[in-house]
Amino acid sequence: KLVKAILVSLKAEKNPETGRMSMVPVEGSEKEVPADLVLIAAGFLGAQSYVADAFGVELNARTNVATEAGKYATNVEKVFTAGDMHRGQSLVVWAIHEGRDVAKEVDKYLMGYTNLA
């Protein structure tokens, strides 16, 4: 049974190695509040590492699956990526665009040419 939530304040901090902004806990900011319902409303925070690890694909500094610019092939033969996993948090129109583009790239990879428009 849920009876309380332990809250921690976060602050935005730049990772000096990757240049990526991330939210880090503020030390000593923990506080408890009584609660019987908790809703998680977190945004997209990059590719889930267990998925990337399962395929053995490399991630870029923004924790998206890495490809050459404008391409969809990953570092692993026959594994392609598209959509949020590839671009990071984005829009449905981009997911559709990338879905069509990656289909062309896969078709070309398999057939040596593509007739997909």
Ligand X SMILES: Cc1cc2nc3c(=O)[nH]c(=O)nc-3n(C[C@H](O)[C@H](O)[C@H](O)COP(=O)(O)OP(=O)(O)OC[C@H]3O[C@@H](n4cnc5c(N)ncnc54)[C@H](O)[C@@H]3O)c2cc1C
Distance CA(33)–CA(17), nearest Å, equals 36
The reply on whether position 63 binds ligand X by CB under 6 A is no
- Segment near ligand X (CB under 6 A); pick from 16-24, 25-33, 88-96, 107-115: 88-96
Among 5, 91, 110, 116, binds ligand X (CB under 6 A): 91
Among 3, 92, 111, 117, binds ligand X (CB under 6 A): 92
Give yes or no for a contact between 36 and 3, defined as CB atoms under 8 angstroms apart: yes
Among 51, 76, 110, 116, binds ligand X (CB under 6 A): 51
- Segment near ligand X (CB under 6 A); pick from 13-21, 23-31, 87-95, 108-116: 87-95
